[in-house]
A and B are shown apart, each in its own frame.
Chain A
Amino acid sequence: MKVSGVDLLIVGAGPAGLAAAIAAKQSGLSRVRVIEREREAGGVPRHSFHTGYGMRDLHRVMNGPRYAARYISHTLDSGAEISTSTTAIDWVGERTIALTSPRGLEEVTADRIILATGARERGRNARVVAGTRPAGIYTTGSLQQSVYLRHQEIGSRAVIIGAEHVSFSAVMTLAHANVETVAMLTSEAHHQSYFPLHWGTALRYRYSLRTKTELLEILGRDRVSGVRVLTPRGEEVIECDTVVFSADWIPDHELARRGGLQMSDVTKSPIVNHLHETSRAGVYAIGNLLLPIKSADQCALEGSSLLSKNW
């Protein structure tokens, strides 16, 4: 097993982690390493092909993959190292983490560690949805990877569960895959996104936003055939072959919890102080590991400002 040491180890090469790496190099740290469990760095923007990225941090607008590519090249230019296909398995010391990758096992010790492991949407089981278990059920994240990265067949009629920003991203992804969004459901009284975003997508893609509507059950044997919902007017079946569970975020906090860091019961994120330091000295948390969910550029700004505050 290999043993190594760095000044700063960043876990997660999404916008927050990469921005933090660039800032760390600029502030003069010499050995900065970002590890990423996926085969490619960039995080969620990699598979989010619609525009709107880069507004606050790069002061220009571009799509997700371009945005991710830009951060990757800036990071490499800065002299930080990115190790992809590399998973942080567990803590083996206060600031020592065990890694696995196709190059084998490694233990890396760092003066400081930044956790930037992001968040994911809860899927169907985590939301305790009853019914059958047919094919055709996605989260926005898995849908985007299927559509944009793998060009896989999706279906023809979709229902989206949730009405937050990311839900509208699901509408656009479905449209790209020639899938009609027939309805967007939220148990709340209103959608939880910007009004122009809703109006724009609703006008363009012609789905109905169903507020105060609860998903009861998924129908269909091999393939989704519909969803049974509870509306203010009673129960109803909406026919569809695809269901996308959007939003309802949970931080990817496994490493933080395995390290015994203090966690918030509410957000399930590590608890941090105003300097983003966790309950363990020298271990920081940034980006969407800290809920509520933020846009990519907000995460990147959090990553780049961390260094100026702290070190």
Chain B
Amino acid sequence: MAKRVAPHVRTFDVAIIGAGVVGAAIARELAHFELSILLIDAKSDVGAGTSKANTAILHTGFDMVPGSLESRLVSRGYALLRDYAREVGISFESCGALLVAWNDEELANLSKIQEKAIANGYHETYLVGVDALYAKEPHLGSGALGALAVPGEWIIDPWSTTLAYATQAKSAGAILQLNTRVERISQSAHLHTLHTNQGEFEARYLVNAAGLYSDVIDAEFGFEDFVVTPRRGELMVFDKLARSLVSHILLPVPSSMGKGVLVSPTVFGNVMLGPTAENLSDKRATESSIAGLAFLQEKGRKIMPALLDEEITAIYAGLRAATEHPDFQISLHAPQRYVTVGGIRSTGLTASMAIAEHVRDLLTTSGLDLGQQGDLPAIHIPALGESGVRPYLNDELIAATPSYGEIVCHCERVTRGEIDAAMISPIPPRDQAALGRRTRATLGRCQGFYCHAEVRALLENAGGAL
């Protein structure tokens, strides 16, 4: 268990900048040990930057660069996160993926991808002929020539993953400091001083998990190992009534035509289409674009025409923290007692727990004494996936607490009981988007036509914002 610190203490053994999926996983990992831990983020919620707009796939790592750090950490992270999801109740579905070939070049590439998977230590892929493909996915658009099946590619709830890590770290004694922007970092012989909009914090060791801003934090130390170029990915989410159209994650086959887009079910019972890939310079450019949305609709119509007849319930744009390097950029700067965790792409969700172990080991080699390892307090995250029994269907739960039978968000069937529970959880939501990530409220097809006002009132009563 982490060392408990008194509220006024501002000096920590380890400070982690960035409470995304990676920073939260590192905080949780370190919380096993006798350390005082600070997890700091500029936003008002955990996982509110790049982590929130993930494609939500638990990757086997079959298509990584063999021998890369990413390949190793994704493989290891896959097993760790799968077990962790079972332990704490994060929703996932073992749907498997199909890489669908639409032309001869792509078809020829399938066997190369199969070889690459083997080089990455993944042996379960198999080729699927065109008839078998349409039998598996009858709503697939016409013109597909075959596919490579990757049964180990699963879908997972990405928001609950970050929330679970942060919740468990906090329960073990780590301090979560939100709404806190690091403006400058200064050094003394044994301490880093973080100058923030909420005053100063000190730490013996520092971990940079600042995502899009990891190069900016690195620059505080004079390091120029990489430059983060925000790569925008726009995503469309279709209504639950579309879910029956698709059974697998439908992945594009990389070819000279460039990388295509995927169609994937989500654990929440929706269907996702995307992402686009566009390099930008503005790290805040999370707006969707006219061209991007038109591109997705055009691609989607080819992959699965019936999907485009369904209602679109959400449009997101996320920024990947891409660098000029193909691999994760994780490095120890031992003299500075500083670890940079940069260049983490969409595979970071899958790799998160393995990245955390790796960072723990790097800190140890630079002299951090972890002390005794202990067990973390057990936690349970409310399951939001459709594969389990949602509260509105749980007669016993409703009998004990009738508010679990009172649906507030009708489209997503979110009950007042779930919203009430989120409001008093260890990391309560402060705005509507954060509540949505915890409960699904307002994220459905009506987009708040029915429940916006009520949800807003519940948040305002709890002291949150709109």
Report A's interface with B, CB cutoff 8 A. 1, 37-39, 85, 87, 89, 100-105, 120-126, 128, 130-133, 135, 138-139, 141-142, 145-146, 149-150, 152, 216-218, 221, 250, 254, 257, 265
Contacts and interface: CB of A to CB of B under 8 A. Distances in A.
A250 B288 contact: no
B454 interface: yes
A133 B287 contact: yes
A128 B297 CA distance: 10
Contact of A145 (B289, B392, B395, B454): B454
Interface string B395-406: 100110011011
12 contacts: A100-B405, A103-B402, A105-B395, A105-B398, A123-B446, A128-B236, A132-B286, A132-B287, A139-B449, A145-B454, A146-B456, A221-B284
Nearest to B432: A135
B334 interface: no
Nearest to B315: A125
Nearest to B453: A145
Nearest to A253: B241
A257 B241 contact: yes
Given A133-B287, A135-B466, A87 B447 contact: no
Interface stretch (B78-86, B185-193, B306-314, B325-333): B306-314
Interface of B: 236, 241, 284, 286-290, 292-293, 297, 309, 311-315, 392-393, 395, 398-399, 402-403, 405-407, 410, 413, 432, 445-450, 452-454, 456-457, 460, 466
A101 B406 contact: yes
A125 to B, nearest CB: 5
B89 to A, nearest CB: 21
A146 B452 CA distance: 8
Main secondary structure of the interface of A (DSSP, over half): mixed
Given A37-B410, A120-B449, 14 more contacts: A87-B407, A87-B410, A100-B407, A104-B398, A105-B393, A120-B446, A123-B447, A125-B313, A125-B314, A126-B312, A132-B287, A146-B452, A217-B290, A265-B309
B407 A150 contact: no
Contacts of A125: 312-315, 447
Contacts of B290: 130, 216-217
Contacts of A221: 284
B299 to A, nearest CB: 14
Contact of A120 (B292, B399, B432, B450): B450
B224 to A, nearest CB: 29
B460 to A, nearest CB: 8
Contacts of B448: 123, 138-139, 142
A108 to B, nearest CB: 15
B447 A250 contact: no
B288 A89 contact: no
A145 B452 contact: yes
Given A128-B297, A257-B241, A1 B445 contact: no
Nearest to A99: B405
B288 A131 contact: yes
Given A37-B407, A104-B405, A126 B447 contact: yes
Contact of A128 (B293, B403, B407, B449): B293
B402 A102 contact: yes
B457 A152 contact: yes
Nearest to B297: A128
B453 A150 contact: yes
A199 to B, nearest CB: 29
A211 B11 CA distance: 62
Contacts of B311: 122, 126, 250
Contacts of B236: 128
A55 B403 CA distance: 39
